[in-house]
């Protein structure tokens, strides 16, 4: 008997089920309903306060946050960050059309490469699907414009997020991902990887001493851009 038959057979007999019926299936009904459970009221705020809460929560877990009024200000903000931390003027950006088309060469002297991270990129810049004010979390979804390795291999990770994409709670982000999957003709699917990222990497495995930069980035810098077209962020 296969492991599958053995496990399912034993479960069915223990649960007193004669066979699986397609209709009258409590599990199917539950999954299709996408019923929301209790959602903390904390993030349920108008936009300005929501963004403020996001910033406050992100800073509490050692992320740094800057607010920009235009997407076009990103290159200068990145240049400032590199100078401030005395980092080399070289970055790996996500191959995201919006990011690639910025005036990197005109506005800065940063050497810009795009693509996935290889392990020798000190700084990455990528675009978030959105943010969650509840805990100051950014949400990254993998795709051709947003390779996941950029979120983890470099020591410094800079993330651009649109203020309009900062939701009150995680559930709102699931709804957006479901809508995107429906629009792409792939209902009920997710990108290969969805990352909730809340602050830079850390460990307390040695004598319960908190240290940043365990395996992922030691610093996480978030650029909140007001008025950034959501379509650009999602492209």
Interacting residues with other proteins between 125 and 184 (CB under 8 A): 134-135, 137, 142-144, 147-149, 151-153, 170-171, 174
Distance of CA 90 to the CA centre of its chain: 23
Pairing of strands 219-225, 156-162: parallel
By beta-carbon proximity to other proteins, the closer residue of 57 and 77 is 57
CB of residue 74 to other proteins, shortest distance in Å: 21
> In the block, which residue shows the tokens 């200068």?
76
Residues 18, 23, 106, 119: which binds other proteins (CB under 8 A)? 119
Indicate whether 124 belongs to the interface with other proteins (CB under 8 A). no
- From 23, 86, 207, 231, residue interacting with other proteins (rule: CB under 8 A): 207
Q: Which of 52, 79, 87, 194 binds other proteins (CB under 8 A)?
A: 194
Nearer to other proteins, 21 or 231 (CB): 21
Count residues contacting other proteins (CB under 8 A)? 78
Instruction: For other proteins, give the closer residue by CB, 108 or 137.
Output: 137
CB closer to other proteins out of 77 and 93:
93
- In the chain, what is the straight-line distance between the N-terminal and C-terminal CA atoms, in Å? 48
**Binding residues among 38-77 for other proteins as defined by CB under 8 A:** 38-42, 57, 61
195 binds other proteins (CB under 8 A): yes
Q: Out of 49, 101, 189, 230, name the contact with other proteins by CB under 8 A.
A: 189
Q: For the segment 92-111, give every residue that binds other proteins (CB under 8 A).
A: 95
- Contact stretch for other proteins (CB under 8 A) within 13-21, 67-75, 100-108, 123-131: 13-21
CA distance 45 to 223: 21
DSSP output for 78-136: HHHHHHHTT--SEEEE---HHHHTS-HHHH---EEEESS--S--SEEEEE-SEEETTTT
CB of 50 to other proteins, least distance (A): 16
Q: Is 231 in the site for other proteins (CB under 8 A)?
A: no
Whole-number minimum distance, CB 69 to other proteins, in Å?
29
Judge contact between 52 and 187, C-beta under 8 A: no
Written in H, E and C, the secondary structure of 125-178 is EEECCEEECCCCEEEEECECCECHHHHCCCCEEEEEEEHHHEECCHHHHHHHHH
Distance of CA 104 to the CA centre of its chain: 24
Residues 6+ apart with CB under 8 A from 137: 57, 58, 131, 170, 196, 197, 198
Q: Between residues 87 and 190, which has the closer beta carbon with respect to other proteins?
A: 190
């Amino acid at each position: 008997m296969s492991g599958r038959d053995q496990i399912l057979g034993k479960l069915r007999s223990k649960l007193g089920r004669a066979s699986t019926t397609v209709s009258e299936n409590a599990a199917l009904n539950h999954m299709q309903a996408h019923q929301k459970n209790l959602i903390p009221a904390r993030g349920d705020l108008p936009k300005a306060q929501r963004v403020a809460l996001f910033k406050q929560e992100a800073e509490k877990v050692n992320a740094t946050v800057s607010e920009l009024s235009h997407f076009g200000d990103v290159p200068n903000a990145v240049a400032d960050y590199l100078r401030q931390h005395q980092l080399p003027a070289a970055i790996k950006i996500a191959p995201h059309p919006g990011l690639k088309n910025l005036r990197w060469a005109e506005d800065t002297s940063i050497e810009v490469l795009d693509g996935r991270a290889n392990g020798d990129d000190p700084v990455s810049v990528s675009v978030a699907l959105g943010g969650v004010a509840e805990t100051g979390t950014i949400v990254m979804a993998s795709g051709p414009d947003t390779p996941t390795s950029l979120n983890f291999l470099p020591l410094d990770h800079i993330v651009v997020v649109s203020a309009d994409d900062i939701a009150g709670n995680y559930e709102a982000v699931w709804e957006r991902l479901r809508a995107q999957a429906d629009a792409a003709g792939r209902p009920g699917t997710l990108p290969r990887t969805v990352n909730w990222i809340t602050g830079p990497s850390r460990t307390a495995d040695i004598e319960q001493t908190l240290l940043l930069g365990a395996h992922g980035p030691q610093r996480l810098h978030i650029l909140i851009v007001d008025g950034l077209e959501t379509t650009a962020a999602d492209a």
